[in-house]
Amino acid sequence: CLASTNKPVLTLFTKKPCPLCDEAKEVLEPYKKRFVLKEVDITLPENSAWYDKYKYDIPVFHLNGKFLMKHRVDIQKFEDQLRKLELQS
């Protein structure tokens, strides 16, 4: 249950297939105990607003609902933001 953890939520906006998304998830693998990964398939009808916004930019990552990065994982930026959130909780 997500509610029971204080872990930051990393939202990945993706679609199938998405080799860059798969690559990004591999890069994030060592950190996965520190966050909850939520994948949003932008091709689903209920996600059409995200599709319109990100169809040319996936993968796109939001951390706790705020835009973080797109196209590639910026590990330095990700670590910095993750650390900030961990210090707050």
Paired tokens of 77: 């930026």
Domain that holds residue 45: 11-88
- Total structural domains in the chain? 1
Section 5-31 average pLDDT: 95
User: What does pTM read for this prediction?
Assistant: 0.91
In a domain, 69, yes or no: yes
Q: 26-56 pLDDT, tens per residue?
A: 999 999 999 999 999 999 999 999 999 999 9
Q: What is the CATH number of the domain that holds 65?
A: 3.40.30.10
Residue 5 counted as domain residue: no
- How far apart CA 25 and CA 78 sit, in angstroms, is 13
